[in-house]
Amino acid sequence: MIQSVGRAARILKALGSESARLGVTELAERLGLAKATVYGLLRTLEAHQLVEQDTETGKYRLGPALLQLGNAFLDNNELRARSLLWAETLAGRAREAVHVGVLYGPNVLLVHHVFRPDNSLQILQVGASIPWHACALGKATVAYLDPDARAELLAGPLPRLTGRTLTTRELLEAELEAVVASGVAVEDQEAIVGEAGIAAALFDNRGAVVGAIGLAGPVERLLPDGPASETVAAVKEAARGLSRELGAGRPAVPRAGA
Amino acid sequence: MRLWLNDVAARLEAERDFLTQLDAAIGDADHGVNMHRGFTAVVAKVGAAGEISAGQLLKLAGRTFVSTVGGAAGPLYGTAFLQAGEALGDHERFGPKLLGEALRASLEGVQRVGAASPGDKTMVDALTPALAAYELELRMGGSLETAVSGAREAAAEGMRATIPLQARKGRASYLGPRSVGHQDPGATSSALMFAALEQAVLADRSQRFASGARRQVSGP
């Protein structure tokens, strides 16, 4: 590992997790580095437009180059690219919004979002970050992770997002078992009151889970009395088809975690 | 009670686009439309209902809201009205203390369904200070009028105080730091309801005062 690059990365992450701007002193304290070191790194990052300085306060924030890089991440993300057609088809078939997500730490990062096809005004959710245990995409993904990774996530913070969020290890373990048994994950107002999700995991040709695709919509439509079988079938079909493509032609073999 | 419900409906119609705008910034852009649709239905149902108690009116409002409004607003406000209606029961008239109990019951219902705490950047950030101000006024010997006034002011302050907060609940929480700098739509519609409550109480008082004055003039 190259120390200065690692330190620069930590600076970018610190600035990315804060709503307020951060000054040199605050960053130095937060990262346990000398102020002169932080200052030098900031000047270099600034030259590359990865950070910029607020002229009034002198504090630093993320720079415009990151938006470009973020977009490039999305554009080049293979999962997202291959999911475009499958997601569009699924949305048309189920008449609900479709989300495609990947696990990033303890959260699901949405890399693709197809609007519900009803001409209503909707807001693009790409880039949204949702705690894994509170959404169908997350539960679908984590159910197939290797045992160590799964255990780490189950041991981690499980914040309560609504009155129905599952927040204990026991409840979530049972939930993950149900995912493997049924092939889909269901979320019933566990992240947002009034919203539900149905998702299935995506696999690559080595059988490793790489993300999930699913529906997101009003609970009364998605889960009228539990998920409707045609809806579940549509989600599974999209996941299977997309997984096959990610396997570069070879059929994906889902491998459930022990 | 009807005065209040009608006033809320009128304010929601006037503020529909504003609420939608707030929700477009940090939600899914449907709060204004949802609240307006819900209260239009409530006003219609309440208008058609015969002579029923305030508590029953609120419960009717709650049920109507749950069945006509989607998203988070439906279940949350629906529960709030239902719980408040339960607390008021069948009393034809109710004093400030019972109204306070209804307000507390509605906040508890909202927190049970949504699991939000003050500071999460939700309607709870308007409801909690409003209730605290209301109860404080009564404890210090205030009247119903001063209590709802205090509640209106505290709710408005709470609503404005959501601007710098980072959302920890709801769709806004997916935005992380980007939710900072925007006023919460749920806190805004809640503050609107407390403003309407103050107006309704004052209007009710002046109506009663006016009819009392007429009786005096015309003799016993």
Give the mean pLDDT per block of 10 residues along chain B (220 residues): 84 88 88 92 89 89 91 93 92 86 96 95 97 96 94 97 93 86 95 92 78 50
Report d(CA A69, CA A62) in Å as an integer.
12
Other C-beta atoms closer than 10 Å to the C-beta of B87 total: 22
Distance from CA of A131 to the nearest CA of B (A): 9
Measured in whole angstroms, the distance separating CA A64 from the mean position of its chain's CA atoms is: 22
Residue A120, pLDDT > 90, answer no
State residue A37's pLDDT score.
Answer: 95
- pLDDT per position as a tens digit, A67-98: 889 888 888 888 999 999 999 999 999 999 99
* Partners of A129 in the β-ladder: A109
Q: Among residues B101, B124, B13, B19, which one has the least CA distance to residue B55?
A: B101
A128/B112 touch (CB, cutoff 8 Å), yes or no? no
B29 in contact with chain A, both atoms CB, cutoff 8 A: yes
Top CATH class, A77-246: alpha beta
- Please report which confidence band the pLDDT of residue A250 belongs to, taking 50, 70 and 90 as the band edges: low
State residue A45's pLDDT score.
Answer: 96
Report d(CA B211, CA B220) in Å as an integer.
13
Structure tokens at A80: 């997202």
- Write down the ipTM of this complex: 0.81
Span of A104-108, A133-137, B17-21, B191-195 with lowest mean pLDDT: B17-21
- Please report which confidence band the pLDDT of residue A256 belongs to, taking 50, 70 and 90 as the band edges: low
Distance from CA of A126 to the nearest CA of B (A): 10
Residue A156, pLDDT > 60, answer yes
| CATH code of the region A3-68 | 1.10.10.10
B115/A161 touch (CB, cutoff 8 Å), yes or no? yes
Burial of A68 (0-12, 13-18, 19+ CB in 10 A): exposed
Spell out the domain ranges in chain A: 3-68, 77-246
From the list A120, A125, A218, the residue facing B174 with the nearest CB is A125
Nearest chain A residue to B27 by CA distance is A123
Report d(CA B175, CA B28) in Å as an integer.
12
Task: List the domains of chain B with CATH numbers.
Answer: 2-201 (1.25.40.340)
The chain-wide mean pLDDT, for chain A, equals 91
Query: Which residues of chain B make contact with A161, given a CB cutoff of 8 A?
Result: 115, 169, 173
Using an 8 Å Cβ cutoff, are B134 and B151 in contact? Answer: yes
User: Where is A153: in which H helix or E strand?
Assistant: helix A147-155
Measured in whole angstroms, the distance separating CA B22 from the mean position of its chain's CA atoms is: 18
Residue B182, Ramachandran bin (φ over 0: left; ψ between -120 and 50: alpha; else beta): beta
Interface A:B, Cβ pairs < 8 A = 60
Burial of B178 (0-12, 13-18, 19+ CB in 10 A): middle
Q: Do domains A3-68 and A77-246 have the same CATH topology?
A: no
Residue B169, Ramachandran bin (φ over 0: left; ψ between -120 and 50: alpha; else beta): beta
Nearest chain B residue to A220 by CA distance is B70
State residue B220's pLDDT score.
Answer: 44
Residue numbers of B between 34 and 63 with CB closer than 8 Å to A: none
